[in-house]
Structures are given as structure tokens and as C-alpha cells.
Amino acid sequence: MIEVRDLVKVYGKDVTAVDGITFDVAEGEVFGFLGPNGAGKTTTIRILVTRLLPTAGTARVGGIDVTADPNAVRRMIGYAGQFIGV
């Protein structure tokens, strides 16, 4: 399960990439993350896979807070970004 509550990511002083999103993804659920360029999709995913720290809010993967125990989260998930070499 993925639980996201009031997630915010701000770069610098005035660039808000993610602005207070909240959503849940149940175990086994198929979930699409759609939106225009610059909507914060990649930033949100990077927070969920522990590549970025959120500015505010919480994100949990499998019941584990991504900021409190990132290593445990990484052991549960796999992530291949857009430009990964195979």
C-alpha cells in the first residue's frame, strides 16, 4: 500500500513542484499517475522511491515512512527511471 498525505516539495524559495497532494494506492491496485509536464509526477515518484526528501507531508510505502526508514522502503521496491541504461 502507498499512502501519501499533504505531500509538498519546494525547490529553492519559490518553485513548488508538488503542492499538497494526498492519495492512497491499495495493495494489488493498478494506479495511473497522469498529468501535464511540470505537474510534479516525477518529483512525487522520486520521493516515494526515496531519491528526494519531501519539504512537507508524509509518504508511506508498505506502511513504512519514506523519510524515517528509506533503506527498508528500497528493499521493497524497484525503480527504473526514464533514462536508465539496460
- Return d(Cα 86, Cα 79) in angstroms, integer: 13
Other beta carbons less than 10 A from residue 37's beta carbon:
6
Residue 84 reports pLDDT greater than 70: no
Is residue 53 within 8 Å of residue 67, measured between CB atoms?
Answer: yes
Q: Name the CATH superfamily for 2-76.
A: P-loop containing nucleotide triphosphate hydrolases (3.40.50.300)
pLDDT at 41: 93
Residue 86 reports pLDDT greater than 70: no
Residue 70 reports pLDDT greater than 80: yes
The model's pLDDT over 24-53, given as tens digits with 9 standing for 90+, comes to 999 999 999 899 998 999 999 999 999 999
**CB proximity list for 1: less than 8 A, separation 6 or greater:** 24, 25, 26, 27, 60, 61, 62, 63
The domain spans of the chain are 2-76
Mean pLDDT value across the chain: 92
Is residue 29 within 8 Å of residue 7, measured between CB atoms?
Answer: no
